[in-house]
Amino acid sequence: MYTIDSIPASTLEWFRFGNIYTGSVGDFRYRLCPDKSAGNLTASVYTRFSYHIATDVEEREFPLTEQGITSAREWVLSKLNSK
């Protein structure tokens, strides 16, 4: 079973500049993408392919806050542990 340390992410400042963060564990991929105008952070999980061509993308939105980043990481972790 994986822990939250398996899902690194960047800082709130990183996301406020509009930067995207991606990571992977084996063939499990994740992507954290901010929408500054809406104040959201979209977490996406998928496998094996690039986000733009993956056919199995699952997404969830979180507030663009420190707690939102933590919640997004926890959601990604739950998806990783359920695969």
Q: Any idea where the domains of the chain sit in the sequence?
A: 4-81
pLDDT by residue (tens digit) across 40-65? Answer: 999 999 998 899 999 999 999 999 99
Percentage above 90 pLDDT, the chain:
92
What is the second-level CATH architecture of the domain 4-81?
2-Layer Sandwich (3.30)
Average pLDDT over residues 53-80: 97
Q: Is the pTM of this model over 0.85?
A: yes
Provide DSSP, 15-72.
HHTT--EEEEETTEEEEEEEETTTTEEEEEEEESS-TTT-S--EEEEEESSHHHHHHH
Contact 11, 66 (CB under 8 A): no
> Does residue 80 carry a pLDDT above 90?
yes
